[in-house]
Structure 1
């Protein structure tokens, strides 16, 4: 049977992708950010998954404001890299895993979660930046990502957005779906976005390091309680775009301890301010 071996959490700041693409990773401003992922890159090589289930939010590329699904799962065999206004990032296309994705969709929908099934979509920096951070620079022609990726897009752009509680419960349903798949696959689930930031209005540039680190503490030790935090706290304490952190709760809900298993092992924890106009958080939890 398939199983979830670990969860990975990371910001997906678009400027991080630009810094990589333009060869700026060793500049003083960016050096500490990328050094925080040295461990994660080696860890991924040492713990290679068969499939990555990557939770992210689309930034009005695959979905316009005309139609925004709350939860959308990519079931295609491949996904092109989106042009977000300055050309696609110079990274490889993303190969999907249609069989596992379709199985998860079937299981989760029968578990009473309404998913939008997407058979064709382009993926933007919300998905490619985490892959670049964890996998390093990749030539778009000569290289490939290390394994298939199932994109899972969550609406955290247009209100109303899903609650942390709903996201946590969805993660638990995804774990059940993965474990019911009849192939011996090692699956990692990645939660991306955040941390505290606000892009507009009088509070533009807001970063709340104390709240961010408390979020990381609680994500590790008391995720079910953290899932009860209301939207207004995210907005008040972490800024209007801080709501992206509910996507981390999907990945956390998929870990074994939320179904009575042992607590996960913390393999890596990293936090840095600033990267562009936000804080960067990174966490790796292993099922034991």
Structure 2
């Protein structure tokens, strides 16, 4: 049977991708950030996932604001790196796992999650930056990837609790797939940040650090956070943290924390990262 063995949460700041692509990772501004992922990259070489279910949000790249699904899943064979206005990142094509993706989609719909099925899409920094951070600069990504998209771009987004329950449903779906696969679930986006308005540049370190702590020690408390809580404490873009709860819901109750990292700033945001293994 397929099995979920670990979860990863990480920010997906687009400037991180630019720093990698332009050879700036060892510059004084960027070096501390990339150093924070060295342990995770070493861990991934031993973890060797067959499939990563990567939860992110499309930034009006493939899904325009005329049609905004609450939840969507990619079922394609492969996904092209998107041109986000300055050319596509020079990273490998993302290889999908359409058989497992179709199985998960069917299971989620039976579980009453109305998933939008995406059979063709380009993937933006929400996917390619986390892959670069965890696998480095490679000629081919060492895992297949199933995209799961969550609407955090246009009101109303789903609640954090709903995202948690989506993660639980994904775990049930994976466990019922007959092929022997090592699967990880990644939640991306966040942490506290706001890109516009009077609070542009907001970074709330205490909130971010408490969120990271609670992912391991008191995850049920995170299910209670409301849209207003995220807006007040983490800024208008801090709502991206609900995607981390998809990952955490998929892992079950008991986890072991492998690595945790927090860094300010990267561009105009805070960067958070945690690696969790199922206990």
Q: TM-score, normalised by structure 1?
A: 0.96
CA distance in 2, matches of 1:51, 1:219: 22
Question: Does the Cα contact within 8 Å between 1:168 and 1:224 map onto a contact in 2?
Answer: no
Counterparts in 2 of 1:241-252, with a 5 A limit?
241-252=237-248
Find runs of 4+ consecutive structure 1 residues off by over 6 angstroms.
none
**Secondary structure at 2:19's aligned position in 1?**
helix
CA deviations 1:99-132 (Å, max 9, x no partner) are 0000000001100111000000000000000000
Q: Which residue of 2 aligns with 1:151?
A: 147
CA deviations 1:25-56 (Å, max 9, x no partner) are 00000000000000010100011001000000
1:280 and 2:276 are equivalent in the alignment = no
Counterparts in 2 of 1:214-225, with a 5 A limit?
214-225=210-221
Q: What is the total number of aligned residue pairs between the two structures?
A: 279
CA distance in 2, matches of 1:62, 1:180: 30
Report the Cα offset of residue 224 of structure 1.
Answer: 2.0
Q: Which residue of 2 aligns with 1:265?
A: 256
CA distance in 1, matches of 2:100, 2:219: 26
Question: Does the Cα contact within 8 Å between 2:216 and 2:256 map onto a contact in 1?
Answer: no
Report the Cα offset of residue 90 of structure 1.
Answer: 0.4
Show structure 1 runs of 5+ residues with no match: 258-262
Report the Cα offset of residue 217 of structure 1.
Answer: 1.3
Report the Cα offset of residue 91 of structure 1.
Answer: 0.2
Question: Does the Cα contact within 8 Å between 2:163 and 2:242 map onto a contact in 1?
Answer: yes
Q: TM-score, normalised by structure 2?
A: 0.99
CA distance in 1, matches of 2:62, 2:149: 10
Q: Which residue of 1 aligns with 2:20?
A: 20
Q: Which residue of 2 aligns with 1:30?
A: 30
Q: Which residue of 2 aligns with 1:260?
A: none
Show structure 2 runs of 5+ residues with no match: none
Counterparts in 2 of 1:1-288, with a 5 A limit?
1-138=1-138, 143-257=139-253, 263-288=254-279
CA distance in 2, matches of 1:215, 1:46: 27
